[in-house]
Amino acid sequence: MEIFKSPEEMRGWAREQALSGKTISLVPTMGYFHEGHLSLMRLAAQQGDLVVVSLFVNPTQFGPNEDLDRYPRDFERDMTLVRQEKVAAVFAPTPESMYPQGFQTEVSVRNLAIYLCGRTRPGHFAGVTTVVSKLFNIVQPDVAVFGEKDFQQLAIIRRMVCDMNIPVRIVSLPIVREADGLAMSSRNANLDPANRVAALSLSTALYLARERCRQGVTSVVELTKILEAHILSFAGTAIDYASFVDSETLEPMTVVDERTVLALAVRIDGKVRLIDNGYVIPKPTN
């Protein structure tokens, strides 16, 4: 397995592979791998000849008061895990090589980025779309694989690829969960045992919304009241948002239907911000 630290080396290798007729599937990540990341790598391996995993904790998608410094990192652990997968190359650049002095370009998607995480994390999605554009230009993949856990990010990247005629096919993977329902996340490593219990407020809220909806409660006002009370019944939780949105436009909905996604962001103990989401009326494949 190759490990590249500079965009030039990564690009040179990727170009050689393309010239020899190989297709590339890219899995963009911020590292500290869990089963969700490894599942993305396995899906990527089914989609092309060679898998490239990028590992970059992108500073421009973190706000000044966010957890950039506390974001879990362990390069050696990650390399041990990734070597067990069918991964041809890891791209792990430094912030300086991605954002050299004089850098001043931003790629941003307008409407989809104003809702949900876009409201509470200003500038976050511009950071994401800028770095993903750079990764696409450096690796020139045929396919890129993203998780549905970051549901808004996925919608924004699909929009960007379509709008900018980027020749990359976007493939998505459903949320990978722990046995008790918690959506896997690198940030779960920052949860102490009490906070790990509070973290279940998200997935159980989703299951509760589904149950109430099956029982006939489809008013978003009603459901929101129920869910807020449920989430706040866990010690140390603060709701960033609990929104019922249209799966494509991300606009808020008033009555639940087949297109409605419940999107959740909850702060645990003021320290760890977790997200989760799912269709309120589950798709047959969910």
Quick one: CA torsion of 169, 154, 147, 103, rounded to 10 degrees? 90
Establish if 124 lies at the interface with ligand AMP (CB under 6 A).
Answer: no
66, 277, 238, 279: which is closest to 153 by C-alpha? 277
**What is the nearest approach in angstroms of ligand AMP to the Cβ of residue 127?**
12
Q: Minimal CA–CA distance to 237: which of 191, 198, 192?
A: 198
Nearer to ligand AMP, 186 or 201 (CB): 186
Residue 146 binding ligand AMP, by CB under 6 A: yes
CA distances in angstroms from 256 to 68, 148, 221, 226, 229, listed in the order given: 36, 20, 10, 14, 19
Can 37 be counted among the known catalytic residues?
yes
Task: Read off the amino acid at residue 148.
Answer: E
Instruction: Show contacts with ligand AMP in window 181-200 (CB under 6 A).
Output: 183-186
Q: Which of 38, 89, 175, 263 binds ligand AMP (CB under 6 A)?
A: 175
Of residues 25-44, those binding ligand AMP (CB under 6 A)? 29-30, 36-37, 40
> Does residue number 150 form part of the binding site for ligand AMP (CB under 6 A)?
yes
- Run of H or E including 279: strand 272-279
Let me know: does 132 contact 56? Beta carbons within 8 Å: no
**By CB under 6 A, is residue 93 in contact with ligand AMP?**
no
Nearer to ligand AMP, 186 or 195 (CB): 186
Residue nearest to ligand AMP (CB): 147
**Which residues contact ligand AMP by CB under 6 A?**
29-30, 36-37, 40, 146-147, 149-150, 173, 175-176, 183-186
